[in-house]
Amino acid sequence: MHKLESLPLPEEPLIDKFGRHHSYLRISLSERCNLRCLYCMPEDGVPLQPAENLLSNDEIMTLATWFNQQGVDKIRLTGGEPLLRKNLVELITDLNKLKLKQIGMTTNGVTLSKQLPDLVEAGLTHVNISLDSLDADKFARLTRRPPSYHTRVMDAIKDCAKYLPNQTKINCVVMPDNVNELQDFCELSRDLPVDIRFIEFMPFNDNEWGSKQFVSYKQMQEQIVGLEREEDGPNDTTKWWRLQPNENHEKKSLGRIGFITSMSEHFCGTCNRLRLTADGQLKVCLFGETEVSLRDLMRQGGSNEMLQKVIHYSVQRKNFKLGGHKDMEDLRAHSAENRPMILIGG
């Protein structure tokens, strides 16, 4: 910190040394989750920090306001499970005052339906629902939770299609256990205005990633019939497609089909994302182990100028790709040095 005091105040604190401007902030609201997904959380869970170690709503708003003033126009709330956060509606109401382009949330959907109307009214604009199987029993094996939870998630997807049409995505992490379901997932987008995204399995904190678990997006596409390429957006992490008409359907699917190719074809060159963990650590890269505590800086009375310098010089140290790892095997070898996904927020 003492070295930073002598450094000049940056004019563009969110531009890194590769010229990437970071306009998207992901904020984890909780380390807790009501599921135990195989790729996300160790089977015996993770040690939870005391509540006082987590950012308060006021602290989140202080940081969100600063990032917004520096050009962040998209915020996504993650977890853990963000719906377990108390006063979530109030937080979204406050975030909505920043006039962001998007306020999104990534959730497992288990308790979403009951809260969705109030969240949308407060200002929530986009929802991503994590779902890795359309089969209730397989869902139970993957999440280590009762099959009845599956019904709740499916109901939440239908509700989101009603409240947030074309602003809802289903995120499916593809593994050998569910690769045979990809066509069925795609068919959901025929009549529901929701996008389906298939995500390559990524190594985090010894989550048993390996060649036997990994399914590349090229292998995924081999399981799906009727795809036609769509245009990708700027800074998009997703390669987009859409189901075409066939003998049973006169029109294209209402929703799109996407592939997130983090491992086989990384998209680091256009990354515009920063992550804030529930305990206030800034992570400039999902795959990087380096963190800096914005929580401690604020609680120790750090000035806005020091906050700006700390964030800027953290962004400046961001590697070009994969958190500085040369390839996915190197990333796997060092995965134990990073947090489990549950403590990052995706």
Give the pLDDT score at 343: 56
Claim: this prediction has a pTM higher than 0.75: yes
| Tally of structural domains, the chain | 1
**Identity at 166, one-letter amino acid code:** N
160-182 residue pLDDT tens: 999 999 999 999 999 999 999 99
36-88 residue pLDDT tens: 887 777 777 778 889 999 999 999 999 999 999 999 999 999 999 999 999 99
Q: Domain containing 308 — which CATH number?
A: 3.20.20.70
Q: List the domain range (segments joined by +) for residue 300.
A: 2-7+15-343
State how far the Cα of 96 lies from the Cα of 93, in Å rounded to an integer: 5
265-311 residue pLDDT tens: 877 889 999 999 999 999 999 878 789 999 999 999 999 999 999 99
Strands 273-276 and 281-283, how do they pair? antiparallel
Beta strands in 163-309 (DSSP E): 168-174, 195-200, 227-229, 238-243, 257-260, 273-276, 281-283, 292-293
State how far the Cα of 151 lies from the Cα of 155, in Å rounded to an integer: 6
